[in-house]
Amino acid sequence: MKLPEKTVERLSVYRRTLLECLTKGKTHIYSHELARLHNITAVQVRRDLMLIGYSSMKKKGYDAHELVDVIGKLIDHKNGLNVAVIGMGNLGRAVTTYFTGKRPKLNIVATFDVDPNKTNRVISSVNCYHIKDIKDLIKTKKISIAIITSPPETTAIIAETLVAAGIKGILNFTTTPINVPESVFLEEFDMITSIEKVAYFVKDQVKS
Amino acid sequence: MKLPEKTVERLSVYRRTLLECLTKGKTHIYSHELARLHNITAVQVRRDLMLIGYSSMKKKGYDAHELVDVIGKLIDHKNGLNVAVIGMGNLGRAVTTYFTGKRPKLNIVATFDVDPNKTNRVISSVNCYHIKDIKDLIKTKKISIAIITSPPETTAIIAETLVAAGIKGILNFTTTPINVPESVFLEEFDMITSIEKVAYFVKDQVKS
């Protein structure tokens, strides 16, 4: 039985915080501390951890190392998953750089573009291939997730190609929403809409 | 009375689609067409438009031009809002490039960094200043929204500085969640958590 999306998001964020605590030498953390760091309630934290079967809180708080492992066993794939980034403009490079080395169970194994100045090169420490080879490389490199950071007018055709090639999950960073079969997990983030939303909620505080 | 966040997001996306229709010469659109393009129901579209007081659908469908105007009057600030991007690494440059010129009522008027190779330069067509000048520039350039794309360890201090300088809205793209007063509208997007979420939902389909 899969966890709710919001719970998975929070677990991912808790894990990152716990790893930071550990690098600073903090080995234990209380639910209220974890809550405060994430602007949520201690009740929510405890509920999330109970949902994943972790409710051990000793006098010193949760054992950070143990909790990182429990979360990892739950949200990561045992052997890791391979990821591709499609579109190596500024955004694609930013995503690839942001990612590389950050999560051991997620590897960006290839990037794709059409620009001859980018293809057959190493960009942000990852090989960049021509998009025409994407079907083969998805199979040979066992790529299960693709991040689309290409120009909006290319999004639809790229999504089609990915789905036909057997991609299991897509993170769409373009401003073009896409349609995929139910068997493909889709996450979309639209930067322009996000900023327009912020603008809508602040505009009344700004004099004309 | 403010609209729900999800409605504002959808209106922003509808508007973009309507503008694309207009560039392709399509002047009218039915609710079911708009719905299909966004993977939602026609009922949702009609409900959103009724919420903003627009329910006129003639035989030919909604008048795209008119609807773009109605949405604009609702979600945009009359004279536009000024935006700053903090942190001009790959992600900051990607955001600045993505944005510039796309939305007439939102202007990236300044970017900030600490790297002497970037400050006092024009990057992605916008002036880049040193972060030490941010308080003054927020006032003089009437910046109401900031997009944080700086390294995660700098996020907290940058957020504090922005709030103290009178920023009204923040879009946080770093992996560090921040805490702001209720008077500041905060939108956060965490790239690593998004991809971990996709990975969680696809991992069972991938053999170990």
| Distance in angstroms (rounded) separating the CA atoms of residues B187 and B168 | 12
pLDDT at residue A100 above 80? no
Find out whether A91 and A123 touch, Cβ atoms under 8 Å: no
Task: Place A10 in a pLDDT band, splitting at 50, 70 and 90.
Answer: very high
* List of chain B residues whose C-beta atoms are within 8 Å of the C-beta of residue A185: 198, 201-202
Chain A interface includes B44 (CB < 8 A):
no
When CB atoms are compared, the residue of B97, B103, B169 closest to A202 is B169
Q: How big is the CA angle at B83 (ends B175 and B174), to the nearest 5 degrees?
A: 5
Domain edges within chain A: 5-73, 81-193
Find out whether B21 and B34 touch, Cβ atoms under 8 Å: no
Find out whether A175 and B16 touch, Cβ atoms under 8 Å: yes
| Distance in angstroms (rounded) separating the CA atoms of residues A144 and A98 | 19
Chain B interface includes A147 (CB < 8 A):
yes
Condensed to tens digits (0 to 9), the pLDDT of residues B160-181 reads: 999 999 999 999 999 888 889 9
Condensed to tens digits (0 to 9), the pLDDT of residues B36-78 reads: 888 889 999 999 999 998 887 678 899 999 999 999 999 999 8
Cβ–Cβ contacts within 10 Å for residue B100, how many?
14
For residue A104, the model assigns a pLDDT of: 78
Q: What is the pTM of this model?
A: 0.86
Only one residue has tokens 């910046």, namely B143
Task: Place B90 in a pLDDT band, splitting at 50, 70 and 90.
Answer: confident
Verify whether the Cβ–Cβ distance A190 to B13 is below 8 Å.
yes
Per the prediction, chain A carries an average pLDDT of: 92
Condensed to tens digits (0 to 9), the pLDDT of residues A107-149 reads: 999 999 999 999 999 998 999 999 999 999 999 999 999 999 9
Size of interface A-B (CB pairs under 8 A): 198
| Distance in angstroms (rounded) separating the CA atoms of residues A151 and A127 | 20
Verify whether the Cβ–Cβ distance B187 to A200 is below 8 Å.
no
For residue B103, the model assigns a pLDDT of: 78
Instruction: Please name the residue of chain B whose CA is at the shortest distance from the CA of residue A2.
Output: B201
The residue-averaged pLDDT of A173-177 equals 88
The residue-averaged pLDDT of B106-111 equals 95
Condensed to tens digits (0 to 9), the pLDDT of residues B18-38 reads: 998 998 999 999 999 999 888
* List of chain A residues whose C-beta atoms are within 8 Å of the C-beta of residue B139: none
The residue-averaged pLDDT of A173-181 equals 89
Q: Does the B81-193 domain belong in CATH 3.40.50.720?
A: yes
pLDDT at residue A58 above 90? no
When CB atoms are compared, the residue of B91, B105, B171 closest to A94 is B91
Q: How far is CA A194 from CA A149, B11, B13, B83, B171, in A?
A: 16, 12, 10, 13, 8
* Torsion on CA atoms B112, A207, B17, B194, rounded to nearest 10: 40
Verify whether the Cβ–Cβ distance A198 to B91 is below 8 Å.
no
* List of chain B residues whose C-beta atoms are within 8 Å of the C-beta of residue A142: 206
Tell me whether domains A5-73 and A81-193 share a fold.
no
Chain B interface includes A192 (CB < 8 A):
yes
User: Testing the interface with B: which of A98, A99, A105, A150 to mutate, by most B Cβ within 10 A?
Assistant: A98
What ipTM was predicted for this assembly? 0.91
CATH level 3 topology of B5-73: Arc Repressor Mutant, subunit A (1.10.10)
Q: How big is the CA angle at A171 (ends A167 and A175), to the nearest 5 degrees?
A: 125
